[in-house]
Amino acid sequence: MNRSRIAPTVIVTLAALYFLVPLVATLEFSMRMVRGTYSLKAYQVVFADPRFQATFSFSVIAALCTIVIGALLVVPTAYWIRLKFPRLRGLVEFITLLPLVVPPIVLVFGYLRIYNSSSWLPFTATIAGTNVLLVFGYAVLSLPYMYRAVDTGMGAIDIRTLTEAAESLGASRRTILMRVILPNVRAAILSGAFLTFAIVIGEFVLASLLNRPAFGPYLQLVGANRAYEPAALAMIAFAITWACMGFLQLFGSGVPGRRLGSTILRFGKRGR
């Protein structure tokens, strides 16, 4: 048994070193802005930069709007597909996976072609319209992750039984979706939300070609003109991504099946 554990241990160790050594080297380099000593000067410069604050705030707001749009679009769709149109599930899954096949640069050029200032829908003629277009583009890019997360969460519960039980107690479809289905797929929605947040924070192509002050283009701009600040920004972006994964594990660890009995019992009491 000891011999059988040697090979997996070696493989895991080599894989960990493959990822950790560049990370540690980047962290060490980011702390050498002051010659001859380690300091957090590069991080201080980054956090004091008004462009960092503006671009990060812009991307956070765009990410929150994308999460809301994605949840409003995906949750009812996944619910109706599983409840009423199971035969269309394969087609919907194929459509939601298209953003992984179509490059973002093709998507944004299509947007600019259709919604330019000379179009009958001049979305890009104003700053607000361009921001809306950017958020819609982010929603498309995050659609595979949001849909798969929500669809997997709904697959873990009995949608039909919950719906029939709630309808027998007098609940409307809107009430069923908001007060029965959503609480049981909360973990799945949070999983898709944190993945969406991580994607939007680091996205470059859409924001750059639409000329919006997002965090991704700011990372590229600093990386092309500075030495130590890009390493600090890389560590900050890495920390944000891992924070999203940590929140996903912290808040998204609920088991949907545990809420089935309490949900039906609550509606049963109200029905009486």
Q: In this structure, what is the dihedral angle of CA atoms 14, 18, 22, 24, given to the nearest 10 degrees?
A: -40
pLDDT at 266: 55
pLDDT at 244 over 80: no
Nearest one of 128, 141, 138, 133 to 64, comparing CA atoms = 138
pLDDT at 256: 47
- Supply 93's token pair: 């899954």
- Supply 97's token pair: 């996976």
User: What is the CATH number that goes with domain 65-271?
Assistant: 1.10.3720.10
Domain extent listing, the chain? 65-271
Dump pLDDT digits (tens) for 34-78. 887 888 888 888 888 899 889 999 999 999 999 999 999 999 999
Dump pLDDT digits (tens) for 109-125. 888 888 877 777 777 77
pLDDT at 111: 83
